[in-house]
Amino acid sequence: MSSGALMPRARRAADDATADVSSLLARIGSADPVDFLVERIRPVVRRAVDPLQVAAWLEADGMSDRAARVEYGYADVFDLAQEVYRRADPASVEQPSPPAPVQHARDLGHGALYLLPTVIFPVVLASLGETALLRGVLLVAWLSWAWSGTAAWLGYHLVGTGRPGSAGRVLRWSTLAALPAGGVLGWLTIGNAGPAVVLAVGLTAYQMSVTTLVFYRHEWWIFAAMAPAALGGVLCLTVLPGLVQPMVVVAMAAVALLLGLALHATTRTPAQPEPPLWPMMRLNLRRLVLVSGFTALTAAYFLYPQFYLLSGDVVIALGALPVIAGMGIVEWQAHRFGDRAHALLFKVARPDQFAIKARRLMFVGLGTCLSGVGLLAAVLLAALAVADRLSRPVIVLAGASILLAGAYFLAFLLANLGHQAWLCGSLLGCLAAFAAAIAAVGDSASHAAEVFAVTTALLLTLTLAPACRQIGQVWGHRR
């Protein structure tokens, strides 16, 4: 066959983007081949000022458009260079400093923060009563959780892009806007009675204020402001039930003080002018929507079963306390994994080595969360046994709390890697499964505890499977 006849076939082969790459995949295993390329040319990328320089080096090294398509899955060399430049992140190649123990202690203390409402707001609820009120309060709590979580994510993102002043404004106006929104939702779902609406606004103000003060690392302000109300709540629930009305006044005053402190914390003047906010918002709109959906579904998955649990035997609902108190452990391990994974980038030479060690770190963190919350559950169950209130549904719900802590830990890791869409689908599926099962077996508190345990085990599986695949991706752990 002549060379003239070979050339058209050669051109068609060069343009074939569907060529068999099984040999390449077999050679590199399950790791992303781009990670190998990034590690190989990292010294070049560190000196590059833009992706064009990376593209020029790749072409000089023999990279063709066909190789970019077939071996790496990108349209051409320039697209591949852009991805390499993004993953290498020349602006963040310095080795991190060791994590501060103070930050870890702060994370662990968040569990106590999340427990504060459990000794304050039940007393307020008892002063109002009615199942319809419980449904409305849970809806207000869901709105506050979703709203505050979205505002916090946006605030952290703005600080990370050099806009601390904009972050303060977002938190301040989000807090102020949430108050009437919570009041309106309370009026629609709880009733138009004045105390019920005040309760809804108070719940919203508390959630938004705590989120803002945690953002600015003022956790001790929260403890100081809420300590009198927490003490009053404990007394009302144990030995002095006649103090309900005075305790409600103290709780509302404490929330008002907390709101003032939170708004004050957002008024810091930035040290230098900041870039405009809206262009960044437009660029991150899709991610913001996914974060909002993930936060809303996370709140719904935890709060929706509480309606059936609290409407029935309140003692059974106590089985959810371990995961509330243990969220500090979950946050601590999630942050610790991030620090260790980032430091690991400077201790290994190959992406496949990083993937193995990162998975090992993930399982260590998961085991710590499960064992830590399991210990809290054991303490709770022992206390209930001493009080002769231990039952099978409580044990089942406590077990579900342990599994939920593990699922939340893995969900945080996946969210940090940008997999909110998968998390939204998983949470929505588990939420739908819970609702369908409750409709089929009955809505008693004992049935709700059992169904919640099953769907939470499913959620843990749905987060563990993608985490094992994705946690070893090198680019996701750069800062």
pLDDT band at 109 (very low <50, low <70, confident <90, very high): confident
Q: How far apart are the C-alpha atoms of 143 and 210, rounded to whole Å?
A: 15
pLDDT the model gives residue 3: 40
pLDDT the model gives residue 312: 77
Residue 478's φ and ψ, nearest 5 degrees, are -85, 155
User: 171-180, 213-222, 340-349, 370-379: lowest mean pLDDT where?
Assistant: 340-349
With beta carbons less than 8 A apart as the criterion, state whether 140 and 148 touch. Answer: no
Residue with the larger pLDDT of the pair 93 and 214: 214
CB neighbours of residue 269 within 10 Å = 7
pLDDT the model gives residue 55: 84
Tokens of 21: 């790459």
Q: Is the pLDDT of residue 393 over 80?
A: yes
Tokens of 469: 């695949």
Which of 340, 326, 412 minimizes the C-alpha distance to 369?
Answer: 326
DSSP H helix total and E strand total for the chain = 22, 0
CA angle, 74 then 20 then 27, to 5° = 85
DSSP, collapsed to helix, strand or coil, labels residue 473 as: coil
Q: What is the pLDDT of residues 118-159, one digit of tens each?
A: 777 666 666 665 555 778 888 999 999 999 999 999 998 888
pLDDT the model gives residue 128: 63
Q: Is the pLDDT of residue 95 over 50?
A: no
Mean pLDDT on 222-235 = 85
Q: Is the pLDDT of residue 194 over 90?
A: no
pLDDT the model gives residue 123: 66
Q: Is the pLDDT of residue 29 over 70?
A: no
pLDDT the model gives residue 12: 42
pLDDT band at 27 (very low <50, low <70, confident <90, very high): very low
Q: Is the pLDDT of residue 75 over 50?
A: yes
Residues 445, 450, 453, 459, CA torsion sign: negative
Q: Is the pLDDT of residue 92 over 60?
A: no
Q: What is the pLDDT of residues 152-191, one digit of tens each?
A: 999 988 887 778 888 999 999 999 999 999 989 988 887 6
pLDDT the model gives residue 192: 60
| Backbone angle region of 442, left / alpha / beta, with phi > 0 → left and psi within -120 to 50 → alpha | left
Q: How far apart are the C-alpha atoms of 203 and 209, rounded to whole Å?
A: 10
Residue with the larger pLDDT of the pair 32 and 75: 75
* 309 DSSP 8-state letter: H
pLDDT the model gives residue 1: 44
Mean pLDDT on 296-306 = 95
Q: How far is CA 440 from the centre of its chain?
A: 31
Q: Could you write out the DSSP letters of every residue in 314-348?
A: HHHHGGGHHHHHTHHHHHHHHHHHHHHHHHHTTT-
Write down the pTM of the prediction.
0.76
pLDDT above 70 coverage of the chain, percent:
84
Q: What is the pLDDT of residues 424-450, one digit of tens each?
A: 999 999 999 999 999 999 888 899 999
pLDDT the model gives residue 397: 95
Q: What is the pLDDT of residues 229-271, one digit of tens each?
A: 888 887 877 777 777 778 878 888 999 999 999 999 998 877 6
Which of 221, 191, 206, 208 minimizes the C-alpha distance to 121?
Answer: 206
Tokens of 27: 């050679």
Q: How far apart are the C-alpha atoms of 254 and 468, rounded to whole Å?
A: 44
* 450 DSSP 8-state letter: H
Which of 352, 358, 328, 325 minimizes the C-alpha distance to 340?
Answer: 358
CB neighbours of residue 418 within 10 Å = 13
Which of 405, 422, 424, 427 minimizes the C-alpha distance to 334?
Answer: 405
pLDDT the model gives residue 466: 94
With beta carbons less than 8 A apart as the criterion, state whether 317 and 445 touch. Answer: yes
